[in-house]
Structure 1
Amino acid sequence: MAGYKETPRQKMIAMMYLVLTALLALNVSVEIIEAFVIVNKSIEGTNVNLKSKNDETYARFEQQHLLNQAKVGPFWDKAQEAKKQADELIAFIDQVKYEVISKSEGISLEAAKTTPLRDIQAKDKYDVSTNYFIGNSQDGSKGKSRELKENIIKFKKDIVNLLDEKDRATIQLGLDTEGPFRDASGAKQNWEMHNFYHIILAANVTFLNKLIADVRSIEGDVVTKLLNSVTSKDYKFDVLNAKVIPNSKLVFKGDTYEADIMVAAVDSKQDPMVIIGGRTLPTENGVAKYSVPAGSTGLQKYSGTIKVKDPEGNLKEYPFESEYFVMTPSLTVAPTKMNVFYANVDNPVSIAASGIPESQISADITAGTIRRAPDGKNWVVRVPLGQKATITVKHNDGKTTRNMGTAEFRIKRVPDPKAYIANTDGGPVQKNMLLASRAIIPKMPEDFDFDLTFEIVSFTFVGVRGGDTYERPGTGNRLTDEMQTFISNSKRGQRIWLENIMAKGPDGNRKLGTISIIVQ
């Protein structure tokens, strides 16, 4: 019997039917007839079980169809067609069975449907049944057996065509109608004569029920093959793990943490081949581990290929790519009372946000301007004289722009430089050093770290000679020849003043302090 694997009980029933059929050619005894009754009852039980198994297969099939109609739909439609074909042939066989019982027993069709084989009086007769199946012919062509045979042949052809061509050769249909068949003397017979000519009614009924069993078995075989075809190209996994894949493990205050949470399936029996940069990664239980030293900072990208065998044994390649960000561990120490910008000068500023590439950072300021320095890393702020300026830093990753925070700065006037001559801002000075220097030099306070210079634009040279005040204006920062002569003629202890010193800076002119000199 094709289809489901036969149990020992089913094999025994089939063997008993063959033995009993052979014994019919020798003798029709009460014992043989009783044996047919027993075998027939067992076959009827087998048919119930086969239908139940098929119904379970259809139930699983329908469940898959409800879950994924697009994928399962074509196979489900074929399964429904297989059921239709099997039901139609079985309905025909049942009709033949009830008709031959009705004609042989002389009862109605309805009565024939409910009368057990044991209770049929004509079960040991073959005249009526032979005429019904063979008719007025020598080969059964005029009887019901020929129509039954043609329906069986059509069923086998139609149901096997529901399968893919590659699957058709793998299924054993049974229901052999071609033979060869021989009678008790060894003469050749066709299917009709071999199974229905001078065969008692009990054997006819048993044989027809056996045909039903074969049809149900073929139906189950085909439907199971169709169900398996749904997932024949699906990968098989035996390990499930919960996985959380965040969009980013770095989340800033005010942003939203997002992650994909899923069940990841792995085939622990097949280790895929994972290749990154020409290097094959080690795998264990279906999982590859990628490890690489973080040598350089910033955004790091990598890509590779996963090679794995599909269910048909073909090697499939699946490319992938990913990225990660490497940052240097950093410590920021900032005095809270020194957030100061100086007005009208370039103030260097460093802006850094941990975990964010510098190229994705932008900044605005409420007063003045802020721009990137030529090195592309630092920033330059220039503000007018005022009270405060606030810098707002933003991060734009190409998808969204988020506010990273603000920093407030006080604005101060650039401190006044101090005027020096002969490397002093006043006091005793050697005459020769004073004559050698010849120029007033403005110097910024030592704690002022900006690269900023002032230019002396004018001053007044004041001295005392013979009780009279000597006063001469100076342009620029250099002493005139006349002033140099005055110094040269000065006596030890004589005082000289450099007053009204005007220095030009980025925000205009500044009046500097007086340099009081005692000539030595």
Structure 2
Amino acid sequence: MAGYKETPRQKMIAMMYLVLTALLALNVSVEIIEAFVSVNHSIENTNENLKSKIEETYARFEQQHLLNEAKVGPFWDKAKEARQLSDDLIKFIDETKYEVISKSEKITIDEARATPLGKISTRDKYDVSTNYFFGGSQDGSKGKAGELKIEIEDFKTKILNLVDENKRANLKFGMDTEGPFYDASGKKQNWEQHNFYHVILAANVTFLNKLIADIRNVESDIVSSLYSSISADDYKFDQVAPKVIPSSKLVFQGDTYEAEIMVAALDSKQNPEVFIGGRQIPASGGIAKYTVSAGATGLQTYRGTIKVQGPDGEPKDYSFEESYFVMTPSLTVAPTKMNVLYANVDNPISISASGIPESQIQPTITSGTIRRDGKEWVVRVPLGQKATISVVHNDGKTQRKMGAADFRIKRVPDPKAYIANTDGGPVQKNMLLAARAIIPRMPEDFDFDLQFEIVSYNFAGVRGGDMWERAATGNMLTQEMQTFISNCKRGERIWIENIIARGPDGNRKLGTISLTVQ
């Protein structure tokens, strides 16, 4: 916003004042006096208009302050200080103006305020006003003129400090107190002498009102400069669009979806320079689109810099960091009737949740223990009816229940005893002697790598019509049993019974191996 500028009419009034002041030094005629009255009236009207326009600026300023106190506050405080400085000096000038009229006319201050310049009978006199402004001093420094000069210079110093130094050169003050000044004969004068020594009251009043106009112009420029500073560092945009930025596009049941909804602005005429990993990302219409092949799984983080031209024309750098999660495509097909855990053995299981790193998965079990083993988990449960595994997602900030799965607990099935690669029936004598050991085998559909060992067994056969029995420990045939087998004839029967096998959950009694020697 530009400061308030003088209109051609205002410039003409100021020029007329200068001309009249020059003529005044030569001759005080009725026409010149009445011309001062006319010019003064125009200046008073101008001052009222200036005040109204400045108040409009203050109103807009205050509205911006209400909308954004943090940003506008420092500028608004300076604007209020400019208003106070201006009002204080104008009040001093008004008091001076009405006081000199009061003394010259010998009326009260209130009467002086109510009397227009054209009605003042002593408007063409200067004795009282000169004495008032000079106070008996030759140069005016001891009178009201000296006080006014000090007030003006103090005002100029303080109000200039409200704006940045680089903007002060653009401000134009109409209150020159330094000069040089000269009278009609070319003799050098100071400011007090030039404006108040032997100057008629009409010219004094007009000059004081002109000072008020100068103050209002300076105030307008200062406040306008401060107002423009509010948006000096703002970026300019030509497009706005709604944007929804979710904290995550993956939301689990029972969790909360959260998103930032805003109106985003951009400059479609200026493409930002976006660099990620040293590589510039193409931009069009003010937007850069980053694409990258999803290779490694898990949390992926990237960092970069955006370069844009600032309001001052200088490039500005803004760093950013973002992350995304890469998952392996997965398919889960699970038989609902076969959620089984075997008691007293290590049950390997796999636990995963889409969109969640393995390190943030925390399972628990209602019966037994569960521990991590590499990328899998190992569950060990006692014999019972059911165990429930519950999974929690723990990201270090919050914990979310991901769900639970129920498992039936079953006893590990009994192994079957084999010898010579058979669990019973016809067997070649030489095969039986070559094997010499009883081997426990788990059922073929049992996928666990589980081992049992034979603890003891009984060996029985018929010899000469009598039952021949022997007991043994371990799984090996004794020498005596091997001799018995060597002497067996084709068709004779052998029984290996009361077989005891030891497994992870204790001893089991296995079925009898009934053999017929071939």
The alignment's TM-score, normalised by the length of structure 2, stands at 0.87
Query: Are 1:402 and 2:405 an aligned pair?
Result: no
CA contact (8 A) 1:3 1:172 kept: no
Counterpart residue number, 1:117 = 117
The answer for unaligned runs of 5 or more in structure 1 is none
Cα deviation digits, residues 24-50 of structure 1 (max 9, x gap): 456656655554333322211211122
Cα distance in 1, alignment partners of residues 246 and 255 from structure 2? 14
Query: Are 1:423 and 2:426 an aligned pair?
Result: no
State the AA in 1 paired with 2:511. G
CA contact (8 A) 2:236 2:311 kept: no
Cα deviation digits, residues 467-486 of structure 1 (max 9, x gap): 33333334332333333333
Counterpart residue number, 1:518 = 516
Counterpart residue number, 2:434 = 436
Counterpart residue number, 1:258 = 258
**Cα deviation, residue 159, structure 1:** 2.7
Q: How does 1:290-309 map to 2 (within 5 A)?
A: 290-307=290-307
Counterpart residue number, 2:208 = 208
**Cα deviation, residue 409, structure 1:** 0.8
Cα distance in 2, alignment partners of residues 397 and 235 from structure 1? 38
Counterpart residue number, 2:220 = 220
Counterpart residue number, 1:508 = 506
> Number of aligned pairs?
516
State the AA in 1 paired with 2:364. D
Of 323-332 and 147-156, the range deviating more from structure 2: 147-156
**Cα deviation, residue 368, structure 1:** 1.8
State the AA in 1 paired with 2:5. K
SS at match of 1:49: helix
Cα deviation digits, residues 244-267 of structure 1 (max 9, x gap): 443333222222333444455556
Counterpart residue number, 2:235 = 236
State the AA in 2 paired with 1:515. I
State the AA in 2 paired with 1:404. M
SS at match of 1:404: strand
**Cα deviation, residue 112, structure 1:** 2.6
Counterpart residue number, 1:37 = 37
**Cα deviation, residue 89, structure 1:** 2.1
The answer for unaligned runs of 5 or more in structure 2 is none
Could you tell me which of 479, 483, 486 is aligned with 1:485?
A: 483
Cα distance in 2, alignment partners of residues 514 and 276 from structure 1? 74
State the AA in 1 paired with 2:114. T
**Cα deviation, residue 127, structure 1:** 5.5
Cα distance in 1, alignment partners of residues 475 and 415 from structure 2? 14
State the AA in 2 paired with 1:304. G
SS at match of 2:336: coil
Of 205-214 and 157-166, the range deviating more from structure 2: 157-166
SS at match of 2:430: helix
Query: Are 1:379 and 2:377 an aligned pair?
Result: yes
Change over 3 Å in CA distance of 1:51–1:458 after alignment to 2: same
Q: How does 1:10-409 map to 2 (within 5 A)?
A: 10-24=10-24, 32-65=32-65, 75-105=75-105, 107-124=107-124, 126=126, 129-130=129-130, 132-133=132-133, 139-141=139-141, 144-229=144-229, 234-238=233-237, 241-264=241-264, 266=266, 272-284=272-284, 287-307=287-307, 317-373=317-373, 375=374, 377-409=375-407
Cα distance in 2, alignment partners of residues 269 and 52 from structure 1? 39
Cα distance in 2, alignment partners of residues 269 and 43 from structure 1? 48
Counterpart residue number, 2:458 = 460
**Cα deviation, residue 495, structure 1:** 3.0
SS at match of 1:389: strand
**Cα deviation, residue 350, structure 1:** 0.7
Cα distance in 2, alignment partners of residues 3 and 202 from structure 1? 30
**Cα deviation, residue 295, structure 1:** 0.9
Cα distance in 2, alignment partners of residues 472 and 161 from structure 1? 118
CA contact (8 A) 2:246 2:260 kept: yes
RMSD in angstroms over aligned alpha carbons?
3.3
CA contact (8 A) 1:500 1:511 kept: yes
Cα deviation digits, residues 410-435 of structure 1 (max 9, x gap): 11111112222222222333333333
Counterpart residue number, 1:446 = 444
CA contact (8 A) 1:85 1:155 kept: yes
CA contact (8 A) 2:5 2:217 kept: no
**Cα deviation, residue 243, structure 1:** 4.0
Cα deviation digits, residues 154-179 of structure 1 (max 9, x gap): 32233324445454444322201222
Change over 3 Å in CA distance of 1:252–1:169 after alignment to 2: same
Percent sequence identity is: 74
Cα distance in 1, alignment partners of residues 161 and 44 from structure 2? 28
**Cα deviation, residue 370, structure 1:** 1.3
CA contact (8 A) 1:3 1:173 kept: no
State the AA in 2 paired with 1:154. D
Counterpart residue number, 2:411 = 413
Cα distance in 2, alignment partners of residues 401 and 142 from structure 1? 82
Cα distance in 1, alignment partners of residues 460 and 135 from structure 2? 154
Cα distance in 1, alignment partners of residues 357 and 150 from structure 2? 79
SS at match of 1:393: strand
